[in-house]
Amino acid sequence: MTSNSNANVNLNDYSLYIETVQTGTIGKLMETLHANVSSINLYFTNSNVTSLSSDATGACIFYLRLESTNFDIWHVENNFMAGINIPLLFKLIKDSLKARNTIALFVRKNDQRFYVRVNNSSSSDTSYINLLTLQQQNIEIPRSTSEIGKTSISMNSNAFLQYCKTVAGTGTELVRISTNVEGVESNGYTLTIESYGIANTSGKSIVVGTSQDDLIFRSSGNQNFSELFTLRLCQNIAKACVMSEHVHIYMQPGLPIVFVYDSGNLGQIRFFLFPRDEDLL
């Protein structure tokens, strides 16, 4: 598939060539990936690029989806899978995206290198990393929001990060995230984040707010929720605030909590974080 082809690029020479003017969004996306995963497979098709992987412990599943229609140029010859070392790619582009007009990501035919080209009005810089051969993970996740939680809250993403940092200041390794539905008619949803002590005693408790506050601007559902999670993983996920002003949180007892961040106008990232079993602590 080709969209708005650049006259200076012969797309027949490439297995993969995509380009966008949203350099800031790409930089923030890379920062988020760097905080949460090390190596991933990116699956490119005519319509999108997706990635589905988990952290080393299997406690957090990461799902990325970017749509081809949101890029200025999108060319994929057949379906293409690229194994990417995220720390290397992040190091390669993190400083080069400042004040740039476009970024192109491409793989030439019969080549095992993943190229990054950043351009401004007067110069162009091209660098690359070697593609990896990574084992494909057999992971199943819900794809629609109706399947991922009976209760949902949308709130300021930077505030969520700050609350995670505050709880981390207590020295705890675990955090309890809970909601209290005070009444559907009053729309009184309260989100609480609190540390979990080693001796099964609660530490610092933070009431983030209710749905009437600026921090929580949308809520739905009528089911209370209270689960324990690994704080370090919550903090890593919360760093995605660089991508989006808001985080959408979906909760249902016994299921992973789901954090959804929009990646500018390009697509979306979802994090599925599994709760800890309190009986095993």
pLDDT at 204: 46
Q: CB-based contacts of 67: which residues, under 8 Å, 6+ apart?
A: 47, 48, 266, 267
Task: Say how many CA atoms lie within 13 Å of 87 toward its Cβ.
Answer: 2
Q: What is the mean pLDDT of residues 250-258?
A: 89
Which tens digit of pLDDT belongs to each residue from 160-217?
998 888 888 888 899 999 887 664 444 556 778 888 864 444 444 555 555 445 566 6
Query: Band of the pLDDT at 240, cuts 50, 70, 90?
Result: very high
Taking the C-alpha atoms of residue 258 and residue 269, their distance in angstroms, rounded to an integer, is: 10
Q: Does pLDDT of 104 surpass 50?
A: yes
H or E segment at 51?
Answer: strand 48-54
pLDDT at 143: 63
**3 state DSSP class of 44:** strand
pLDDT at 201: 40
Query: Taken in order 214, 220, 226, 230, is the CA torsion positive or negative?
Result: negative
88 closest CA partner among 115, 65, 63: 115
DSSP 8-state class, residue 132:
B
Q: Which domains does the chain have, with CATH numbers?
A: 11-130 (3.10.150.10), 147-280 (3.70.10.10)
